[in-house]
Chains A and B, each alone.
Chain A
């Protein structure tokens, strides 16, 4: 903030090093580099000045001419020492300096927006499948250049969204017209620092609640006989222009392979699970149902009330959000509503009028910012509500409802796998489904490598998406269906191959679980390159999409070392020359003396 207001100060800033440490987190009451109304341009209502995130400073969305590094805790203490040494050094002719080694190929080549950089292939669109770093940029000189953590203007992010049906949709059955109840969450987070985007409260707590709810519902018998079909959907890329939801809706219209079995006409209602981790208030777990004023979501609210009744002993309450809110908070629901304003849907959140998350979209939104019992409570609420909605009030008994229980230890495990470095992605739960070399989880959406498809190769999909896919496929699979070693005809039987990475072969289970590519609706992958499509009035959200991309980059580093004054260097050179010249003169004198001495006489 200081830098954007004071340009003479800004000129003297070569770079910024951000400290990290547990004490720092405790001192801060809140920090959010996001805007006060994140992604306001996509809202289905006109009041875009409403401040959902009043703490938001918006610094993440400005461009800077210098790099900003987040230091690890050990580096922080090292650099604090060096800074102190600089203050009290006795040697006047030396200082300690920091040198940044960041080369962004787009800046180097001069392609400053997404369209040109995609054409020149100096950047890639944001999106899920790959989370590997690219090493395309050639490192020439070391120079400080801006925008290391702030992505260049215009961007395309995409990822691998996952959807799964419970119970599995029988392709062969003629009865394919059950109305669909869609339960939605997102799995990507955002922060000022690309490599530390945990998003514990927003949105991972919601995703964990959804996964735990799926686990609870998977133990219920008789889901086949219910009137409606449950479908769970985990989007990615939502933080960068609702890429996952927009792309999903587009694919639904186009009836592509990725969404086979779903039809937009069958969508009965949508329930989105936003942030749930901060719902604990003095022992009570309170949540709020946000809904668009015009949509008819009384049915969902009634179902929620029923679920709340059954959870009364656990102190769980759900209320409708304040009517002075302009509408739904920033959420995937905005994409659904923009597409079809009569969509019946609610967004479940842990806040009412403003975000309860004081670290929204910052690197400090980690597991210390959430409470696992709130997540468990939200999961119970969601599971029971979904059961009520799916059964459509047919033979609904309170005993059936009370039989749906969320496994609290599963929630704890998911938190420690998804939001901590220890055990992180090397935890047992994750290791039983996928194999990965990363331990520290990161929920930045990443970039698209290669052509998007509904059956991507595992090394094109990031760890979290693969885990979610495997987990959902496992939980929604018919328990009595025969499970066998994966083979070619697994797909033909209506099954999918899970745990394929852990033992190389995998297990074939009957489940309807698919990836949906998630990237901007303004982009098309054509003969090896990405092309930016012109804005189309039939895609109003696409017209507002900034189309984010990430520049190619090589290894990024930071060096700190001691430097001498230039005057000292020149003095040394002078000294060397003097010594040489004096020695030469001395030799000449000696030689003259010797010849003279020899000639004497």
Chain B
């Protein structure tokens, strides 16, 4: 496929993340740190999961239900870690607020907190894209291309890049929703994130069927857009509430 196509696939998977990084995250060092640490946490979670699942390999790829169990346990573990991540963040937030008081500087604004959540989510998303798409992309820079039997209309690399992009969106905005819901104590939203994460994961199982990617990928994007819209709605609601509080 050549270098042009390889770069194209990489951009499809990670272009928006790059755009987000450049425009929002790179301006504040603390956000960069948050992004890196959340990437690390996500990768560690993968390592632990793979360590546990090693005993059950190889999985029989003719049936789909072992993969369903794999996805369920992985999602559950990662959501548990998200809670932990939140708790650590809360501690950090208190420390930073105390420090700000001491040096008579303003505390963290709501937008700052949301940006931290965004950085955390982006960290998760980038880790997912790098691990599940970029690592497979090296052959794409060579002369050949590859088509999978069960999804034979689109090259394999394009399929994995598109799926990675969807997951970047899901991870990034889920973290914003999650942090907000933990801060507000909103149970519905607290459930929203794991459910959407699990649903998105399960959608990929549809790709197992022959020609399933034609159905599975649009559904996956449905999840991603749902997350995006829910996040947008929540953010605008909180900002207007906060604004009203502040001005009143």
Interface residues of A (CB under 8 A from B): 91, 94, 99, 561-564, 566, 568-577, 579-581, 583-584, 587-588, 591, 594, 597-598, 600-601
- Name the A residues within 8 Å of B77 (CB-CB): none
Question: Do B146 and A562 have beta carbons less than 8 Å apart?
Answer: yes
Residue in A94, A572, A588, A594 whose CB lies within 8 Å of B5: A572
In contact, B8 and A576 (Cβ under 8 angstroms)? yes
Beta-carbon contacts under 8 Å, B142-168 to A: 143-147, 153, 155, 158, 165
Question: Cβ of B15 and Cβ of A583 under 8 Å apart?
Answer: yes
Instruction: Tell me the complex Cα distance, A562–B23, Å.
Output: 39
CB pair B23–A588 under 8 Å, yes or no, is: yes
Question: Is A579's CB under 8 angstroms from B165's CB?
Answer: yes
- Across the interface, B23 reaches (CB within 8 A) one of A564, A571, A572, A584, namely A584
Which of the segments B66-74, B79-87, B182-190, B236-244 contacts the partner chain?
B236-244
B170 adjacent to chain A (CB < 8 Å): no
Most buried by B among A569, A571, A572, A584: A572
Partner of B12, one of A579, A581, A588: A579
Give min CB distance, B155 to chain A, whole Å: 7
* Given A94-B145, A563-B143, A577-B15: A572 and B111 interface contact (C-beta under 8 Å): no
Residue numbers in B under 8 Å from A563 (CB-CB): 1, 143-145
Task: Select from chain A the residue with minimum beta-carbon distance to B143.
Answer: A563
**Which residue in chain A gives the minimum CB-CB distance to B240?**
A597
Ranked nearest first, the 4 interchain pairs of A and B with the lowest CB-CB distance are A576-B11, A580-B15, A583-B16, A572-B8
**Residue among A583, A584, A601 with most chain B CB within 10 A:** A583
Asked whether any CB of chain A lies closer than 8 Å to the CB of B22, the reply is yes
The answer to whether A583 touches B19 (Cβ under 8 A) is yes
With a CB–CB cut-off of 8 A, which chain A residues contact B76? Answer: none
Q: CB-defined interface of B1-31 with A at 8 Å, one 1/0 digit per residue?
A: 1101101111110011011101110000000
* Closest A residue by C-beta to B232: A590
Residue contact A598 to B239, C-beta cutoff 8 Å? yes
Q: How far is the CA of A583 from the CA of B122 in the complex (A)?
A: 14
For the side of the interface on B, what is the size category? Answer: 20 to 34
Report yes or no: B8 in contact with A564, Cβ–Cβ below 8 A: no
**With the chains together, A566 CA to B19 CA distance in Å?**
27
Q: Is the CB of A569 within 8 A of B111?
A: no
Quote the shortest CB–CB distance from A116 to chain B (angstroms): 34
A575→B11 CA distance, assembly (Å): 8
Q: Is B247 an interface residue (CB 8 A)?
A: yes
Choose one: B22, B111, B147; the contact of A594 (CB below 8 Å): B111
Complex interface residues of chain B between 128 and 147 (CB less than 8 A to chain A): 143-147
Bound-state CA distance A263–B20 (Å) is: 93
Instruction: Tell me whether B19 and A568 are in contact (CB under 8 A).
Output: no
Name the one of B10, B155, B235 contacting A576, with C-beta atoms under 8 angstroms.
Answer: B10
Could you say which residues of chain B place their CB within 8 Å of the CB of A588? 23
27 contacts between A and B (CB under 8 A): A91-B147, A561-B143, A562-B147, A563-B144, A564-B5, A571-B8, A572-B4, A572-B8, A572-B12, A573-B8, A574-B8, A576-B10, A576-B15, A577-B8, A577-B15, A579-B165, A580-B16, A580-B19, A583-B20, A584-B23, A587-B19, A591-B24, A594-B235, A597-B243, A598-B239, A600-B243, A601-B243
| Complex alpha-carbon distance, A7 and B236, angstroms | 73
Beyond contacts A569-B5, A598-B239: 18 other A-B pairs, Cβ-Cβ < 8 A, are: A99-B143, A563-B143, A564-B5, A564-B145, A568-B5, A571-B8, A572-B4, A572-B8, A576-B7, A576-B10, A579-B15, A583-B15, A583-B16, A584-B22, A584-B23, A587-B19, A587-B20, A588-B23
A569 to B8, CA, bound (A): 8
Chain A hits for B16, CB < 8 A = 579-580, 583-584
Query: With a CB–CB cut-off of 8 A, which chain A residues contact B239?
Result: 594, 597-598
The CA-CA distance from A581 to B20 in the complex, in Å, is 11
Shortest Cβ gap from B170 to chain A (Å): 15
**How far is A99 from B144 in the complex, measured between Cα atoms in Å?**
11
Q: Which residue of A has the minimal Cβ distance to B7? A: A573
User: Could you tell me if B15 and A598 are in contact, using CB atoms closer than 8 angstroms?
Assistant: no
A575 to B162, CA, bound (A): 11
CB contact under 8 A between A564 and B19, given known A569-B8, A580-B11, A597-B243: no
- The answer, among B19, B111, B144, B235, for a CB contact under 8 Å with A562, is B144
Give the distance to chain A from B88, nearest Cβ to Cβ, in Å.
Answer: 26
B11–A564 CB distance below 8 A: no
Please state if B18 and A580 are interface contacts (CB–CB under 8 Å).
Answer: yes
